Amino acid sequence: MQVGDVEDAVGADGSITQPPRISQLFRIAQEGGRPLQVCAPMVRYSKLPFRMLVREYGVDVTYTPMILAHEFVRSHIARDSDFTTCQAEREPTPDGKQHALIAQFASSEPTEFARAAELIAPWVDGVDLNCGCPQSWAIKEGIGCFLMENPELVASMVRASKARLGPSKSVSCKIRIHKDLNQTIRWVSVLEEAGVDFITVHGRTRSQQSSTPPDFDAIKTLKQCVGVPVLANGDVYSAKDVKQIVAMTGVDGVMAARGILENPALFAGHGSAPAECVRRFLKHAVRYPMPFQLVLHHFAELTVRMPEVTKKERRRLMDCRDLIDLIDFVEDKWRL
């Protein structure tokens, strides 16, 4: 199915079922002559305040941080800690723009992944299986990049979650590439046969560091081999990067991680985070509380490329002890 061919489906009982919202957003972006604009799942950082912020600067799809499925299923404390949302996150922005929220899980067991997907389904538009985390602890646990060598297991997790969720929610996978790209081609073919709705490709192998340039030729080849939409991930720091990556790969969308952490207005065409971005994030951090140290880390990222913030001011910023200190700093600096 091509991206533009999204239609309502007829269920076994003759009822009309809506396609996943993500499919509609792929179609809208395609009709607008642009790629889908996506904020990556980032450990700690993809919390509700940051997701609410990037929605205001052109992002179509946001992700939760990676959630361990077995913890999410077994513990209500983990569920409360790992995922928070609000009514506004399910609604269009004031300009009428629709968005989708995807929950990313790490798992190695089909029933466990499907159960976690079912639990979170009322509050999200789809779930994503992390098959690309390269950290040693994840591989030891049999999740993340460990799954790159187990395509049939991943396919069974896709099928199990789709059976639980039904057609109105998407099921996707985020992957890295193998040294032998033919192995990745076979893998994504297995995922497509299992019914995966779209795939995100991080253009590095599991052993490559972020300093290694992504292999966009590999992403282009993978895009040509599958019929489902493909997102490209890796080294997205500006609107210019987005255009170049789409031109090089032909992908349907682009996912930003480190670049959007430093500049949440990246997709809106800003070269660095504007001062207004600071005020907006502070508003969301007050409205949807999270640990102060995490708020401070966000501000450190936000201001790292802002030309008007001096080294002395950054030191003062990092000396803030609580939210009141931070608010005072922002008011003194920007009179916001």
Q: One-letter amino acid identity for 133?
A: C
Q: Which two tokens stand for residue 312?
A: 């002395």
The CA distance from 258 to 265, in Å, is 13
CB 82 within 8 A of CB 67: yes
- What does the angle CA 77 – CA 84 – CA 276 come to, to the nearest 5 degrees? 145
Report the candidate in 242, 241, 178, 236 with the shortest Cα–Cα distance to residue 208.
178
The CA distance from 19 to 179, in Å, is 35
In order of 85, 112, 255, the CA distances from 68 in angstroms are 18, 10, 21
Q: Is 225 a catalytic residue?
A: no
CB 163 within 8 A of CB 198: no
The CA distance from 302 to 122, in Å, is 32
The CA distance from 283 to 222, in Å, is 41
CB 113 within 8 A of CB 105: yes
What pairing do the DSSP bridges indicate for beta strands 9-10 and 36-39? Answer: unpaired
The CA distance from 221 to 186, in Å, is 12
The CA distance from 110 to 101, in Å, is 22
In order of 62, 96, 217, 270, the CA distances from 265 in angstroms are 14, 18, 27, 6
CB 79 within 8 A of CB 212: no
Say which of 39, 133, 145, 173 is annotated catalytic: 133
Phi-psi region of 215 (alpha: psi -120 to 50; beta: other; left: phi over 0): beta
Residues with catalytic function: 133
